[in-house]
Amino acid sequence: MSVEAPASPIRVADVRAGNGPRWITGAFRVYRAQPLVWSALSLGWIVMSFGLLLVPIIGGIAVNVLQPVFFASFALAARKQMKGERVEMGDIFLGFRTNLRALINVGMVELGIAFVVVIGLTLLAGPPAAPVDGGTTPSAQDIARMIEDKGWYLFSALLLIVLVKGALWFAPALIAFHGLSAMHAIRWSVYAALSNAGAMLAYLLALALAYLVAALPWGLGFVIVLPLMVLSTFTAYRDVFEAGAPAQSTPAT
* Phi, psi for 11 (deg, rounded to 5): -125, 140
pTM tops 0.95, yes or no: no
Over its length of 253 residues, how does the chain's per-residue pLDDT go in tens digits? 334 334 457 889 999 999 999 999 999 999 999 999 999 999 999 999 999 999 988 998 999 999 999 999 999 999 999 999 999 999 999 999 989 999 999 999 999 988 887 787 677 665 555 555 555 555 556 555 555 566 666 777 778 888 888 899 999 999 999 999 999 999 999 999 999 999 999 999 999 999 998 888 777 888 999 999 999 999 999 999 986 554 444 444 4
Neighbouring C-beta atoms of residue 168, cutoff 10 Å: 22
Taking the CA of residue 240 as centre, how many other CA atoms within 13 Å lie in the half-sphere pointing to its CB?
31
Report which DSSP code applies to 90.
Answer: G
Between CA 202 and CA 215 the distance in angstroms is 20
Q: How long is the chain?
A: 253
- Domain locations in the chain as residue ranges: 19-126+143-241
pLDDT, position 114:
83
